[in-house]
């Protein structure tokens, strides 16, 4: 039994309407969990024998708009990073919250169980140069490095064993000029499910949802959601019945393109497989402990 954890940045549960690109029956992967037309506040929480949809609080008892730094530390550790520093902070981890990711993260706890975590994202050489020079790492890369989990490079992309941030590798080709092939979202899905054969927990991060939200660009939102929907649908189709899929976010954003900022909306939790450890989840800090309970069984 393995777990695939899809972290989608900046996706909340907002009102249905023209400002919310998520509220559409085009997004069959979301509808699979909500049982309605995409994802919006009119979709009721739903739990079946092997499928779960819940709304999680991302505000964590702190005023202001949730941010990626504290939100992701909270999500990937189970600790309330916003409460710890008395505010929301981002996009990078706040200095006093870094030790949480460096010592008490989800990856560390998976390793303590004798299990093997894997971070599926790949990064180009320019990312490593800039991050090393400034010693400034994102939450996921800091967590992985601190736990001794190798970060994937262009070699892993060429070997077909990792996935780029935009799924299809077009940005590496068009923006970075790297000689990598274009792939379909379905081919990327296969890389996810193939990786479950050698690992107990596989994490993939998708941040273009948050980027499109900040840009208030409905056309761009539709494009990235189309790729994401195909990618997720492929994973759900290929997922072995013994494995568990989960998806959640760190804060809202994309669900309200009428504003450029994040929102205080709840975020979705989707689970397919063993839903039992997630039934009582209410906040983003409940996700990591639920994953550990699942892997302990």
Specify the pLDDT at position 199: 99
Q: Is 95 helix (H, G, I), strand (E, B) or coil?
A: helix
Specify the pLDDT at position 3: 99
Specify the pLDDT at position 134: 86
pLDDT at 228 over 90: yes
What does residue 200 show for φ and ψ, rounded to 5 degrees? -90, -30
* DSSP 8-state symbol, 283: B
Over residues 190-219, the mean pLDDT reads 97
Domain boundaries, position 167: 3-296
Q: Is 53 helix (H, G, I), strand (E, B) or coil?
A: strand
Cβ(209)–Cβ(8) below 8 Å? yes
State the sign of the Cα–Cα–Cα–Cα dihedral 50, 233, 220, 143: positive
pLDDT tens digits for range 112-153: 999 999 999 999 999 999 999 988 999 999 999 999 999 999
What is the widest separation between alpha-carbon atoms in the chain?
49
Average pLDDT for the chain:
97
Q: Is 3 helix (H, G, I), strand (E, B) or coil?
A: strand
Dist. CA 183–CA 187, nearest whole Å: 6
Specify the pLDDT at position 285: 99
Specify the pLDDT at position 251: 98
What's the per-residue H, E or C state across 14-32? CCCCCCCCCCCCCCHHHHH
pLDDT tens digits for range 244-269: 999 999 999 999 999 999 999 999 99
> Angle at CA 246, nearest 5°, toward 24 and 205?
85
Q: How many CB atoms lie within 10 A of CB 150?
A: 10
Percent of the chain topping pLDDT 70: 100
pLDDT at 171 over 90: yes
pLDDT at 278 over 90: yes
- The CATH code of the domain that includes 121 is 3.40.720.10
Query: 153-175 burial string, b = 16+ CB within 10 Å, else e?
Result: bbebbeeebbbbbbbbbebbeee
pLDDT tens digits for range 31-62: 999 999 999 999 999 999 999 999 999 999 99
How much is the pTM? 0.97
Specify the pLDDT at position 297: 82
Closest alpha carbon to 210 in 170, 257, 164: 257
Cβ(250)–Cβ(269) below 8 Å? no
Cβ(288)–Cβ(71) below 8 Å? no
Number of domains within the chain: 1
pLDDT at 237 over 90: yes
pLDDT at 232 over 90: yes
Specify the pLDDT at position 233: 99
The first and second tokens of residue 32, run together, are: 């699979």
């Amino acid at each position: 039994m393995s777990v695939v954890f899809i972290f989608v940045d900046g996706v909340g549960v907002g009102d249905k309407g023209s400002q919310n690109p998520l509220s559409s029956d085009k997004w069959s992967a979301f509808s699979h969990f909500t049982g309605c037309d995409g994802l919006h506040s009119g979709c009721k929480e739903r739990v079946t024998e092997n499928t779960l949809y819940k709304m999680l609080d991302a505000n964590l008892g702190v005023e202001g708009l949730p941010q990626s730094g504290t939100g992701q530390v909270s999500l990937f550790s189970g600790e309330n990073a916003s409460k710890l520093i008395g505010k929301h902070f981002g996009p990078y981890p706040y200095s006093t919250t870094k030790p949480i990711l460096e010592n008490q993260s989800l990856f560390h706890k998976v390793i303590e169980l004798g299990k093997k975590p894997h971070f599926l994202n790949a990064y180009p050489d320019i990312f490593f140069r800039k991050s090393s020079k400034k010693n400034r790492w994102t939450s996921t890369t800091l967590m992985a490095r601190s736990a001794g989990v190798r970060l994937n490079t262009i070699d892993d992309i060429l070997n077909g064993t990792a996935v780029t941030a935009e799924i299809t590798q077009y940005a590496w080709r068009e923006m970075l000029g790297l000689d990598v092939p274009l792939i379909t979202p379905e081919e990327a899905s296969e890389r996810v499910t193939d990786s479950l054969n050698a690992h107990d927990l596989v994490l993939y991060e998708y941040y273009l949802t948050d980027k499109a939200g900040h840009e208030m660009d409905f056309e761009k939102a539709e494009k990235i959601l189309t790729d994401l929907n195909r990618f997720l649908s492929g994973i759900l189709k290929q997922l072995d019945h013994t494995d568990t899929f989960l998806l959640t976010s760190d804060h809202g954003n994309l669900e309200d393109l009428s504003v450029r900022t994040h929102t205080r909306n709840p975020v979705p939790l989707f689970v397919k497989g063993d839903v039992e450890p997630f039934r009582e989840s209410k906040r983003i800090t409940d996700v990591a402990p639920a994953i550990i309970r699942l892997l302990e069984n």
